[in-house]
Amino acid sequence: MALLQIAEPGESTAPHQHRLAVGIDLGTTNSLVATVRNSVPVVLNDDKGRALLPSVVRYFADGRTVVGHAAQAAQAQDPRNTIASVKRFMGRGLADVAHVESMPYVFEDAPGMVRLRTAQGAKSPVEVSADILRTLRERAEASLGGPLTGAVITVPAYFDDAQRQATKDAARVAGLEVLRLLNEPTAAAIAYGLDNASEGIYAVYDLGGGTFDISILKLSRGVFEVLATSGDAALGGDDFDHRVYCWLIEASRIGPPGLEDMRTLYMEARRAKEVLSAQDAVHIGLKLSGGEEIDVTLTRDAFADMTKKLVEKTLAPTRKALRDAGLSPEEVKGVVMVGGATRMPHVQRAVGEFFGQEPLTNLDPDKVVAIGAAIQANVLAGNRSADEDWLLLDVIPLSLGLETMGGLVEKIIPRNSTIPTARAQEFTTFKDGQTAMAIHVVQGERERVSDCRSLARFELRGIPPMVAGAARIRVSFQVDADGLLSVSAREMGTGIEARIEVKPSYGLGDDEVTRMLREGFEHAQEDMSARALAEQRVEAQRLGEATRAALAADGDLLDPAERAAIDAVLVDLAKAAAGEDTPAIKKAIDVLGRSTDEFAARRMNRSIQRALAGRSVESL
């Protein structure tokens, strides 16, 4: 594969500088952690050799928390305190969650995000996810032999801002430095594309446990460019289980089951679904707690029939993504299947018929996302080698806008905009002498605010009194490379500045994250201060190395006095890092940042200049 070559002098990384970075697939049903070892991406197994960690967490009244297989096995026994498929609740209020009636949990509606009442008190989905992530972090650190520099965490491409922010918060609570939030289908495309040296238009059809994504990508000369993405953030394998569960109750003519029986029936439904991917029929026979006997047989055809609507539901977003990309199904060169639910034969058949070709199933649909995330993490941590010179250009899945008069939405950034991106729009006052303006940020495609997801509300105050329509309020949206939004507003017309900047957040403040972080360490019986010291040392070393590499490459951009100043700061940083004083290291890091501001700006300009110059040389 002809990869784009960008020389970065002084950036080659010797093996001893290899930084420990992982990719984590935080799935609805199962989670995985992978890394790149000796240039080969590998999934890290637990001490029993298992790659998949069931995304199930059990909370005991005595404060113990169990994650994974043991928790999964206890689902029927202790359904209220054993949380499965928590990803469905991330960044969601109670009203947004489907099938609440057939879930064994006790929900508490809280501002922004639902809580689950357990033997250890109310748990936010962020905390439950953090317990899963912490287990994976510990697995990785035990396996790799040291603290991690950072992690790439994957999210469904169709996750909105609230769901992404919740995922990032969970990683912070788990003590992980998030290098990037990466869209799951894009991660799969990286793993697939680099492995197969693919060029052309590819579709990634990703049906997971609880989410569906479809992404259309253009692969050319080492660039992975997402053209469009669509999906359904509440559609996945769980819904197929739910259909079978409902059928079991109907076919067996039993009344509404109790909590334990409900869990047992769900687990049987899932088992039946999985068996039907390999066999034409499955027998389900069991005795419920009240003595009722279930003795039925489900055929593959009957299963396909009862879940036909669910499969069809994936094709509408698929058409939409193609339309947004301006493409027809025939223009797609390959369709990569991702997610355990794509093992179902009738799903593969429907996708094959839609695109008029056999879908690609040669990569393990359970592991491909974690593998792609690990490859990306390795590059982002700075372990890039010459043959990994590829570039990823991703998009936001849903439009971002503001509420205007009459409850209507003014779109500021349309869906499928390549990130990072920024847009601004000017608004004006409605009444004479109006000195404040309410700003309501929403995400979604519908015209009415009530049909979109509310992300944040804030007020811009201190607008000088003017007649209606005279003020000019400029509202700016910035979406970063993680797909996360920040919003600022200012009055432009007068010299007086009223300015506010918000990051939408969903009930989790920084202090709350810190509290959860502390609790997490108490449970894991780790020493938080020792960890903080280790982390600051890793960070100091990382930045020291990066700065020295930058000086070696572009030192000529500095005059001798500027150079001497930076050298002195580097010496101070090394001294601080050798000591035990965590705040002192942090301070030295901050000083280094400020001292190299101007140098960084000059380097960035030079780097852009070089990109421009490269072309001129070629065209001569």
**Residues forming the site for other proteins (CB under 8 A):** 4, 6, 19, 149, 179-180, 220-221, 223, 316, 319-320, 323, 376, 379-382, 389, 391-393, 417-422, 478, 480-481, 542-543, 546-547, 550, 592-594, 596-597, 600-617
Q: Is the dihedral of CA 508, 513, 515, 521 positive or negative?
A: positive
Q: Quote the least distance from Cβ 422 to other proteins, whole Å.
A: 5
Minimum distance, C-beta of residue 420 to other proteins, in the bound complex (Å): 5
Q: Which of 160, 184, 213, 394 is catalytic?
A: 184
Shortest distance, position 348 Cβ to other proteins, whole Å: 21
Beta carbon of residue 150, minimum distance to other proteins (angstroms, whole number): 8
Give me the long-range contacts of 268-274 (CB less than 8 A, separation at least 24).
268/294, 269/241, 269/242, 269/244, 269/245, 270/237, 270/241, 270/244, 272/244, 272/298, 272/303, 273/237, 273/240, 273/241, 273/244, 273/303, 273/344, 274/343
Task: Please say which residue, 153 or 294, places its beta carbon nearer to other proteins.
Answer: 153
State the catalytic residue, choosing from 78, 87, 394, 482: 87
Active site residue 567: no
What residue type is assigned to position 441 of the chain? V
The span from the CA of 143 to the CA of 340, in Å, is 26
Cα 231 to Cα 206: distance, rounded to the nearest angstrom: 9
Identity of the residue, 200 or 614, whose beta carbon is nearer to other proteins in the bound complex:
614
For CA atoms 131, 132, 133, 134, the dihedral sign is: positive
The reply to whether 87 belongs to the active site is yes
Give the residue with the Cβ less far from other proteins, 512 or 554: 554
282/551 with CB nearer other proteins:
551
Picking from 382, 378, 541, 379, the residue whose alpha carbon sits closest to that of residue 11 is 382
- 485-491 and 106-108: which strand pairing? unpaired
CA torsion 610-615-619-620 (nearest 10°) is 0
**Could you tell me the smallest distance in angstroms from the CB atom of residue 459 to other proteins?**
26
Query: If we measure between CA atoms, which residue out of 252, 244, 178 comes closest to residue 23?
Result: 178
Is the Cβ of residue 278 or residue 391 nearer to other proteins in the bound state? 391
- CB 206, min distance to other proteins, A: 20
In the three-class reduction of DSSP (H, G, I as helix; E, B as strand; rest coil), residue 268 is classed as helix
Beta bridge partners of 453: 443
Q: Which residue has the tokens 């449970």?
A: 523
Closest CB to other proteins among residues 206, 482: 482
Of the two residues 47 and 597, which places its CB atom closer to other proteins in the complex?
597
Instruction: CB nearer to other proteins: give 45 or 486.
Output: 486
Instruction: Give 144's strand partners.
Output: none
DSSP state of 556: G
Torsion, Cα 407 408 413 415, to 10 degrees, reads 110
Kindly state the smallest distance separating residue 480's Cβ from other proteins, in Å: 6
Q: How far apart are CA 23 and CA 45, in angstroms?
A: 13
Strand partners for 283: 297
Judged by beta carbon, residue 260 or residue 545, the one nearer other proteins is: 545
Smaller CB distance to other proteins: residue 72 or 229? Answer: 229
User: How far is Cα 145 from Cα 555, in angstroms, rounded to an integer?
Assistant: 35
In the complex, minimum distance from the CB of residue 519 to other proteins, in angstroms, rounded to a whole number: 28
Closest approach of other proteins to the CB of residue 226, in Å:
12
Considering all CA atoms of the chain, what is the largest pairwise distance in Å, rounded to the nearest integer?
86
Question: CB of residue 64 vs other proteins: minimum separation in angstroms?
Answer: 37
Structure tokens at 80: 């209220």
Catalytic residue among 78, 127, 206, 238: 206
* Best CA proximity match to 394, nearest among 190, 197, 169: 190
DSSP track, 426-453: EE--SSTT--EEEEEEEESS-SBGGGSE
Checking DSSP bridges between strand 56-59 and strand 65-67, what pairing results, if any? antiparallel
Name which of 181 and 188 has its Cβ closer to other proteins.
Answer: 181
Provide the pairing of β-strand 56-59 with 82-84: antiparallel
Please tell me the distance from the alpha carbon of residue 133 to that of residue 155, in angstroms, as a whole number. Answer: 13
Least distance CB 514 / other proteins (angstroms): 20
Residues 356 and 351: their CA atoms lie apart, in Å, by 8
The separation between CA 102 and the C-alpha centre of its own chain, rounded to angstroms, equals: 27
User: Residue 15: CB partners within 8 Å, gap ≥ 6?
Assistant: none
Looking at the annotation, which residues are catalytic?
25, 87, 184, 206
